[in-house]
Chain A
Amino acid sequence: DAGITQSPRHKVTETGTPVTLRCHQTENHRYMYWYRQDPGHGLRLIHYSYGVKDTDKGEVSDGYSVSRSKTEDFLLTLESATSSQTSVYFCAISETSEGGELFFGEGSRLTVL
Protein backbone atom coordinates (compact mmCIF):
# COMPACT_ATOMS: atom_id res chain seq x y z
CA ASP A 1 0.00 0.00 0.00
CA ALA A 2 1.08 3.53 -0.76
CA GLY A 3 2.34 5.49 2.23
CA ILE A 4 -0.76 7.46 3.06
CA THR A 5 -2.29 7.81 6.51
CA GLN A 6 -5.33 9.62 7.80
CA SER A 7 -6.08 10.90 11.26
CA PRO A 8 -8.21 10.60 13.18
CA ARG A 9 -9.70 7.35 11.93
CA HIS A 10 -12.87 7.84 13.93
CA LYS A 11 -14.39 10.96 15.39
CA VAL A 12 -17.70 11.85 16.98
CA THR A 13 -18.48 15.53 17.36
CA GLU A 14 -21.39 17.83 17.91
CA THR A 15 -23.12 20.15 15.46
CA GLY A 16 -21.43 23.52 15.23
CA THR A 17 -17.98 22.43 16.30
CA PRO A 18 -14.92 22.71 14.06
CA VAL A 19 -13.27 19.53 12.83
CA THR A 20 -9.96 18.98 11.05
CA LEU A 21 -8.98 15.77 9.31
CA ARG A 22 -5.37 15.19 8.38
CA CYS A 23 -3.90 13.31 5.45
CA HIS A 24 -0.19 12.52 5.44
CA GLN A 25 1.73 10.94 2.57
CA THR A 26 5.28 9.69 2.26
CA GLU A 27 5.19 9.17 -1.53
CA ASN A 28 6.00 12.76 -2.53
CA HIS A 29 3.04 12.77 -4.93
CA ARG A 30 2.03 16.18 -6.19
CA TYR A 31 -1.72 15.67 -6.25
CA MET A 32 -3.88 15.10 -3.17
CA TYR A 33 -7.65 14.78 -2.86
CA TRP A 34 -10.40 14.61 -0.28
CA TYR A 35 -13.48 12.53 -1.06
CA ARG A 36 -16.52 11.72 0.99
CA GLN A 37 -18.32 8.39 0.71
CA ASP A 38 -22.02 8.06 1.45
CA PRO A 39 -24.47 5.24 0.73
CA GLY A 40 -26.17 5.78 -2.61
CA HIS A 41 -23.67 8.43 -3.68
CA GLY A 42 -20.42 6.63 -4.20
CA LEU A 43 -17.33 8.78 -3.77
CA ARG A 44 -17.62 12.53 -4.29
CA LEU A 45 -14.73 14.95 -4.60
CA ILE A 46 -14.64 17.72 -1.99
CA HIS A 47 -11.37 19.53 -2.72
CA TYR A 48 -8.06 18.73 -4.29
CA SER A 49 -4.53 20.10 -4.31
CA TYR A 50 -2.07 20.30 -7.18
CA GLY A 51 0.83 21.59 -5.14
CA VAL A 52 1.82 23.37 -1.95
CA LYS A 53 -0.69 26.15 -1.32
CA ASP A 54 -2.50 25.27 -4.58
CA THR A 55 -6.02 23.94 -4.08
CA ASP A 56 -9.32 23.88 -5.91
CA LYS A 57 -12.93 22.91 -5.31
CA GLY A 58 -14.57 19.66 -6.19
CA GLU A 59 -18.25 18.88 -6.71
CA VAL A 60 -19.29 19.04 -3.02
CA SER A 61 -17.06 21.73 -1.52
CA ASP A 62 -19.64 23.79 0.40
CA GLY A 63 -18.94 23.77 4.14
CA TYR A 64 -15.36 22.53 3.72
CA SER A 65 -11.98 24.20 3.44
CA VAL A 66 -8.54 22.74 2.85
CA SER A 67 -4.93 23.68 3.29
CA ARG A 68 -1.65 22.30 2.07
CA SER A 69 1.40 23.94 3.61
CA LYS A 70 3.74 21.01 2.91
CA THR A 71 3.87 18.45 0.12
CA GLU A 72 3.14 15.63 2.53
CA ASP A 73 0.14 17.06 4.41
CA PHE A 74 -3.35 17.93 3.23
CA LEU A 75 -5.86 19.11 5.82
CA LEU A 76 -9.64 19.11 5.51
CA THR A 77 -11.53 21.45 7.83
CA LEU A 78 -15.20 21.62 8.63
CA GLU A 79 -15.55 25.09 10.12
CA SER A 80 -18.91 24.34 11.75
CA ALA A 81 -19.89 20.70 11.42
CA THR A 82 -23.46 19.75 10.47
CA SER A 83 -25.24 16.39 10.60
CA SER A 84 -25.19 16.26 6.78
CA GLN A 85 -21.41 16.04 7.00
CA THR A 86 -21.59 12.70 8.79
CA SER A 87 -19.70 10.51 6.37
CA VAL A 88 -16.58 8.48 5.69
CA TYR A 89 -13.83 10.72 4.36
CA PHE A 90 -11.09 9.36 2.14
CA CYS A 91 -7.88 11.08 1.25
CA ALA A 92 -6.21 10.07 -2.01
CA ILE A 93 -2.93 10.82 -3.75
CA SER A 94 -1.83 10.63 -7.35
CA GLU A 95 1.34 11.15 -9.37
CA THR A 96 -0.52 12.62 -12.33
CA SER A 97 -3.46 14.92 -12.81
CA GLU A 98 -4.98 12.99 -15.71
CA GLY A 99 -5.54 9.30 -16.10
CA GLY A 100 -3.53 8.23 -13.11
CA GLU A 101 -4.23 5.79 -10.30
CA LEU A 102 -5.62 7.20 -7.08
CA PHE A 103 -4.13 5.69 -3.94
CA PHE A 104 -6.58 6.01 -1.07
CA GLY A 105 -6.01 6.27 2.64
CA GLU A 106 -7.84 4.03 5.10
CA GLY A 107 -10.66 6.51 5.59
CA SER A 108 -11.89 8.62 8.51
CA ARG A 109 -15.37 8.00 9.85
CA LEU A 110 -16.93 11.23 11.12
CA THR A 111 -20.20 11.33 13.02
CA VAL A 112 -21.82 14.70 13.71
CA LEU A 113 -24.51 14.54 16.38
Chain B
Amino acid sequence: GENVEQHPSTLSVQEGDSAVIKCTYSDSASNYFPWYKQELGKRPQLIIDIRSNVGEKKDQRIAVTLNKTAKHFSLHITETQPEDSAVYFCAASPRANNLFFGTGTRLTVIP
Protein backbone atom coordinates (compact mmCIF):
# COMPACT_ATOMS: atom_id res chain seq x y z
CA GLY B 1 0.00 0.00 0.00
CA GLU B 2 0.85 3.67 -0.08
CA ASN B 3 3.34 4.98 2.48
CA VAL B 4 3.27 8.69 3.28
CA GLU B 5 6.10 10.17 5.34
CA GLN B 6 5.78 13.63 6.86
CA HIS B 7 8.42 15.94 8.32
CA PRO B 8 9.00 17.56 10.67
CA SER B 9 6.85 16.12 13.43
CA THR B 10 6.97 19.41 15.34
CA LEU B 11 7.65 22.93 14.12
CA SER B 12 7.83 26.21 16.01
CA VAL B 13 7.95 29.55 14.23
CA GLN B 14 7.70 33.17 15.22
CA GLU B 15 4.53 34.97 14.27
CA GLY B 16 4.94 36.45 10.80
CA ASP B 17 7.53 33.91 9.68
CA SER B 18 6.90 31.16 7.12
CA ALA B 19 6.37 27.49 7.84
CA VAL B 20 7.08 24.59 5.50
CA ILE B 21 5.94 20.99 5.97
CA LYS B 22 7.16 18.27 3.64
CA CYS B 23 5.71 14.90 2.66
CA THR B 24 6.87 12.04 0.47
CA TYR B 25 4.79 9.21 -0.94
CA SER B 26 5.67 5.84 -2.38
CA ASP B 27 2.91 4.86 -4.83
CA SER B 28 3.30 6.45 -8.25
CA ALA B 29 -0.44 5.88 -8.81
CA SER B 30 -1.29 8.56 -6.23
CA ASN B 31 -2.94 11.47 -7.96
CA TYR B 32 -4.64 13.50 -5.24
CA PHE B 33 -2.86 15.20 -2.33
CA PRO B 34 -4.91 17.03 0.30
CA TRP B 35 -3.79 18.78 3.47
CA TYR B 36 -5.89 18.74 6.63
CA LYS B 37 -5.64 20.96 9.68
CA GLN B 38 -6.68 19.70 13.08
CA GLU B 39 -6.96 22.10 15.99
CA LEU B 40 -6.68 20.72 19.49
CA GLY B 41 -9.68 18.57 20.33
CA LYS B 42 -11.34 19.26 16.99
CA ARG B 43 -12.00 17.33 13.82
CA PRO B 44 -9.60 17.46 10.83
CA GLN B 45 -10.61 19.94 8.15
CA LEU B 46 -9.40 20.30 4.58
CA ILE B 47 -7.37 23.45 3.99
CA ILE B 48 -5.99 22.89 0.49
CA ASP B 49 -5.50 20.11 -2.02
CA ILE B 50 -3.65 19.52 -5.27
CA ARG B 51 -4.02 17.04 -8.10
CA SER B 52 -1.25 15.33 -9.98
CA ASN B 53 -1.69 17.41 -13.14
CA VAL B 54 -0.86 20.61 -11.26
CA GLY B 55 2.52 21.61 -9.86
CA GLU B 56 1.47 24.36 -7.49
CA LYS B 57 -1.68 25.79 -5.95
CA LYS B 58 -2.13 28.82 -3.76
CA ASP B 59 -4.93 30.07 -1.54
CA GLN B 60 -4.15 33.33 0.25
CA ARG B 61 -1.35 32.56 2.75
CA ILE B 62 -1.30 28.84 2.00
CA ALA B 63 0.36 27.13 -0.94
CA VAL B 64 1.09 23.56 -1.88
CA THR B 65 3.72 22.32 -4.33
CA LEU B 66 3.98 18.89 -5.92
CA ASN B 67 6.96 17.18 -7.52
CA LYS B 68 5.68 13.97 -9.10
CA THR B 69 9.09 12.86 -10.29
CA ALA B 70 10.52 12.98 -6.80
CA LYS B 71 7.23 11.89 -5.21
CA HIS B 72 7.11 14.72 -2.72
CA PHE B 73 4.78 17.59 -1.92
CA SER B 74 4.96 20.46 0.52
CA LEU B 75 2.72 22.87 2.40
CA HIS B 76 3.85 26.48 2.71
CA ILE B 77 2.25 28.90 5.13
CA THR B 78 3.38 32.52 4.91
CA GLU B 79 2.92 35.32 7.45
CA THR B 80 1.99 32.83 10.14
CA GLN B 81 -0.51 33.83 12.81
CA PRO B 82 -1.28 32.29 16.23
CA GLU B 83 -4.48 30.77 14.83
CA ASP B 84 -2.35 28.72 12.44
CA SER B 85 -1.19 26.68 15.46
CA ALA B 86 -2.54 23.16 14.93
CA VAL B 87 -1.59 19.71 13.70
CA TYR B 88 -1.33 19.46 9.92
CA PHE B 89 -1.71 16.18 8.02
CA CYS B 90 -0.73 15.51 4.45
CA ALA B 91 -2.34 12.65 2.54
CA ALA B 92 -2.09 10.81 -0.77
CA SER B 93 -4.70 8.85 -2.69
CA PRO B 94 -3.57 6.07 -5.08
CA ARG B 95 -7.09 4.83 -5.81
CA ALA B 96 -10.72 5.54 -5.11
CA ASN B 97 -11.82 5.68 -1.50
CA ASN B 98 -8.31 5.18 -0.19
CA LEU B 99 -6.60 8.16 1.40
CA PHE B 100 -3.34 7.53 3.23
CA PHE B 101 -2.31 10.10 5.80
CA GLY B 102 1.06 11.20 7.07
CA THR B 103 1.77 11.12 10.79
CA GLY B 104 1.16 14.83 11.29
CA THR B 105 3.13 18.00 12.07
CA ARG B 106 2.39 20.00 15.20
CA LEU B 107 2.87 23.65 14.27
CA THR B 108 3.23 26.22 17.03
CA VAL B 109 3.23 29.89 16.13
CA ILE B 110 4.85 31.96 18.86
CA PRO B 111 3.34 35.45 19.27
Q: Does B43 contact A (CB under 8 A)?
A: yes
Which residues of A does B touch, CB under 8 Å? Answer: 31, 33, 40-45, 48, 50, 56, 58-59, 90, 97-99, 101-102, 104-107
Q: A98-B93, A102-B46 are in contact. List 4 more A-B contacts (CB 8 A).
A: A42-B4, A43-B89, A99-B93, A105-B43
B34-67 to A contact mask, C-beta < 8 Å, 1/0: 1010000011111001010000000000000000
Question: Contact at B97–A104, with CB atoms within 8 Å?
Answer: no
Q: B33: nearest residue on chain A (CB-CB)?
A: A99
Contact: A101 with B97, CB < 8 Å? no
Contacts A42-B89, A104-B45 given: A99-B51 contact, CB under 8 Å? yes
Interface residues of B (CB under 8 A from A): 1, 4, 6, 31-32, 34, 36, 42-46, 49, 51, 89, 91, 93, 95-104
B50 (CB) vs chain A CBs: closest residue:
A99
Q: CA of A6 to CA of B45 in the docked complex: distance in angstroms?
A: 16
Question: What separation, in Å, do the CA atoms of A45 and B44 have in the docked complex?
Answer: 14
CA distance A40 to B103 in the complex (A): 6
Taking A43-B89, A90-B44, A101-B34 as contacts, is the C-beta distance between A50 and B100 under 8 angstroms?
no
B98 touches A45 (CB 8 A): yes
Q: How far is the CA of A46 from the CA of B49 in the complex (A)?
A: 23
Please give the distance in Å from B103's CB to the nearest CB on chain A.
5
